[in-house]
């Protein structure tokens, strides 16, 4: 008799097809989740870019003179709810994106001013202005409106044009892989005219004058011996400015004492607001090769001090003091400038080489009085004192310094003995160094400034703001 055929082990064609279908369905679900996650990540990144762009634009507009802070034209209304101009109506702008409407009159060229006259000298384009940041593109919309200060009496603040409010909206372009049109993000900020005594403040000084803030921007331009310093255009990397001399010293690099860099009233100019890649970032101290990461060696790299503590004057033991202490001063004051109590520094920084490290920056403020001795101009510096410590410096520390991108940091310093006058002819100065103990894993700390995206500055509380500032 023939023997029965042995049973064959394996899968039938139906089993194979079913298995393949299970794998395909599972793969599609996995790829779908990955695709959704990728899109969500890209969307979150783009939103953050838009918020950063709006904040940068707010900072730029806040640095304009009061007369310039007005729209060159009234923006036209839009019928598209996803367009910020949808909130424009009859020369007014709705400050509330949702809920109860709060329309405020736009500040625009040729529109009437309370008490007579019209708005003139406007310098703000309403947009939309296109911009590009890496692979993210979009448009910037700007609105400036009049606000009424309800805390201020009609007698002191007549009319409803008491201060201005700035609104910047950024609408991102719709990417090719996204079906629905994107909405927009916005940032708002108040602006009080520093030269307008009618503006109010919750805490006016004893004379009844308004206390406001005067901005001074750190630049990469050596200060002029006299008169007004003209900002120099930055076009390339360059040797470190030695800033340990006086303005009469002129610009020097290396070990020869030279003029401090200038603190100017105007923010760094932006030659191409629509392009975030212009101007480039430059290295202001490329004679000191501190690491191989070109992204972090921008601005000035302030080398760590050699001993624990903060030194507001170079020590004899320092081999290259010009790398360890950097100074900036204003032009001579045209009249007495009264510092009422607080000074805030806002600066941009990043860990050298993007290393994991804590950091400590020492900040010094001083009044520079210049006198002539033996035919030379010499500086007498009075270093201002920290109310909290009684020391002649303030220290900003972080357990983890910003990495992978430039971080914006801010420190408010309270002055001992305020109010402090900077007399006519004197200069206000700020200096920075890096403390050894608080900066264990970085040889230096980069500080970026004099760039429209990184406008490092000090804000001085004052009751005598500088005209035109």
User: Taking residues 2-30, what's their average pLDDT?
Assistant: 66
| Residue recorded with tokens 């200069």 | 427
100 and 161 together in one domain? yes
Confirm whether 34 is domain-assigned: no
Q: Which residue has the higher pLDDT, 161 or 324?
A: 324
Give the burial string for 159-171 (b: 16+ CB within 10 Å, else e): eebbbbbbbbbbb
67 and 104 together in one domain? yes
Among residues 223, 15, 42, the alpha carbon closest in space to that of 136 is found at 42
| pLDDT for the residue numbered 43 | 64
For residue 110, the tally of other CB atoms under 10 A from its CB is 12
At 281 the three-state DSSP class reads coil
Confirm whether 48 is domain-assigned: no
**256-290: per-residue pLDDT in tens?**
999 999 999 988 988 887 777 889 999 999 998 88
Which value, to the nearest 10 degrees, does the dihedral of the CA atoms of residues 351, 352, 353, 355 take? -50
430/361 Cα distance (integer angstroms): 13
Domain stop point among 191, 223, 257: 191
Confirm whether 111 is domain-assigned: yes
Q: Which residue has the higher pLDDT, 156 or 363?
A: 363
Among residues 142, 131, 140, 134, the alpha carbon closest in space to that of 170 is found at 140
| pLDDT for the residue numbered 8 | 52
Cβ distance 315 to 321 under 8 Å? Answer: yes
| Residue 226 structure tokens | 């006299």
Confirm whether 9 is domain-assigned: no
103/379 Cα distance (integer angstroms): 54
Cβ distance 106 to 143 under 8 Å? Answer: yes
Instruction: Supply the CATH number for residue 261's domain.
Output: 2.60.120
Band (pLDDT 50/70/90 cuts) for residue 223 is: very high
Residue 29 has pLDDT above 90, yes or no: no
| Residue 112 structure tokens | 């009437």
Q: Where is average pLDDT lowest: 23-37, 270-284, 289-303, 393-407?
A: 23-37
Domain range enclosing 124: 54-191
Task: State how far Cα 363 lies from the chain centre.
Answer: 18
Band (pLDDT 50/70/90 cuts) for residue 353 is: very high
Band (pLDDT 50/70/90 cuts) for residue 395 is: very high
Cβ distance 54 to 187 under 8 Å? Answer: yes
246 and 138 together in one domain? no
| Domains identified in the chain, total number | 2
140 and 229 together in one domain? no
232 and 334 together in one domain? yes
Among residues 89, 55, 450, 29, the alpha carbon closest in space to that of 234 is found at 450
SS3 content of the chain, % helix, strand, coil (to 5): 15, 35, 55
| Residue 430 structure tokens | 């700020």
257 and 135 together in one domain? no
266 and 173 together in one domain? no
DSSP code for 324: H
Q: Is the pTM of this model over 0.75?
A: no
């Amino acid at each position: 008799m023939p023997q029965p055929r042995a049973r064959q082990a394996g899968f039938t064609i139906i089993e194979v097809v079913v298995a393949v279908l299970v794998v395909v369905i599972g793969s599609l679900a996995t790829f779908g989740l990955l695709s959704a996650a990728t899109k969500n990540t890209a969307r979150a990144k783009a939103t953050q870019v838009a918020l950063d762009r709006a904040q940068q634009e707010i900072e730029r507009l806040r640095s304009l003179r009061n007369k310039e802070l007005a729209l060159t034209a009234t923006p036209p209304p839009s019928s598209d709810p996803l367009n910020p101009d949808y909130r424009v109506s009859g020369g007014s702008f709705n400050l509330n994106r949702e809920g109860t409407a709060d329309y405020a009159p736009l500040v625009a060229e040729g529109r009437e001013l309370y008490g007579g006259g019209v708005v003139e000298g406007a310098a703000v384009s309403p947009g939309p202005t296109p911009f590009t940041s890496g692979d993210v593109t979009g448009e910037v919309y700007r609105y400036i409106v009049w606000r009424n200060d309800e805390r201020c009496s009609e007698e002191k603040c007549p009319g409803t044009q008491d201060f201005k409010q700035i609104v910047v909206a950024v609408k991102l372009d719709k990417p090719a892989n996204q079906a629905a049109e994107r909405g927009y993000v916005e940032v708002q900020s108040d602006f009080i005219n520093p030269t307008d005594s009618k503006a109010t403040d919750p805490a006016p000084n004893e004379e009844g004058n308004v206390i406001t803030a005067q901005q001074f921007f750190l630049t990469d331009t050596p200060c002029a011996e006299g008169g007004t310093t003209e900002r120099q255009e930055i076009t390339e990397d360059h040797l470190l400015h030695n800033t340990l001399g006086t303005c009469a010293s002129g610009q020097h690099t290396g070990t020869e004492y030279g003029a401090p860099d200038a603190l100017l009233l105007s923010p760094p100019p932006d030659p191409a607001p629509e392009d975030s890649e212009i101007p480039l970032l430059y290295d202001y101290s490329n004679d000191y090769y501190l690491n191989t990461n070109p992204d972090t060696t921008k601005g000035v790299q302030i080398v760590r001090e050699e001993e624990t503590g903060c030194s507001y004057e170079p020590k004899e033991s320092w081999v290259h003091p010009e790398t360890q202490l950097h100074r900036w001063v204003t032009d001579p004051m045209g009249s007495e400038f009264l510092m009422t109590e607080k000074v805030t520094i806002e600066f941009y920084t990043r860990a050298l080489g993007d290393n994991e490290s804590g950091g400590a920056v020492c900040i010094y403020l001083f009044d520079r009085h210049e006198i002539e001795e033996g035919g030379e101009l010499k500086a007498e510096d009075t270093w201002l004192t920290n109310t909290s410590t009684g020391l002649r410096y303030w220290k900003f520390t972080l357990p983890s310094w910003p990495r992978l991108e430039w971080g914006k940091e801010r420190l408010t310093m309270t002055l001992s003995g305020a109010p402090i006058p900077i007399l006519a002819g004197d200069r206000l100065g700020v200096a920075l160094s890096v403390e050894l103990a608080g900066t264990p894993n970085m040889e230096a700390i980069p500080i970026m400034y004099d760039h429209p995206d990184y406008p490092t500055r000090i804000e001085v509380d004052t009751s005598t703001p500088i005209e035109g500032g």
